[in-house]
Structure 1
Amino acid sequence: MTGGNQRDLARMKNQKKQQEMQKKKTASEKTGLSLSERKHRDAELMREKQRRKEEQQAPKQPVN
């Protein structure tokens, strides 16, 4: 009877995979945001960052 060791290895691999999924799940729960909410928040942050960078690069025009 062969394959007993293979079943044990597959079981251990699946258990490790399940633990990794739990870690990822708890990380997203800590922020309390769904994927779409995170994308929206990150997009807003990037727009703000880009706007600040453009302001720094724009030459200052004197007011007459």
Structure 2
Amino acid sequence: MSRGNQRDRDRERAQARGNHKAKNPKNDGLTPEQRRERDAKALQEKAKKKAAQVAGGGSIDKLESYNIKKK
């Protein structure tokens, strides 16, 4: 049962895959507090858009399916 150079090749492949990942993906120049404010604002806008869609009568069937509780 010889494995040959399988381990070495696997290590090389793992290193190659690891090099493609971003080292610091949150490097957008914002502090954590600013990021929280930005995200909260985006969620509020999304909620307003959804409320307007419900008020306008858009896709009520889909929204009602969320409110149905399974027994």
Q: TM-score, normalised by structure 1?
A: 0.45
* Structure with the largest fraction of helix: 1
Q: TM-score, normalised by structure 2?
A: 0.42
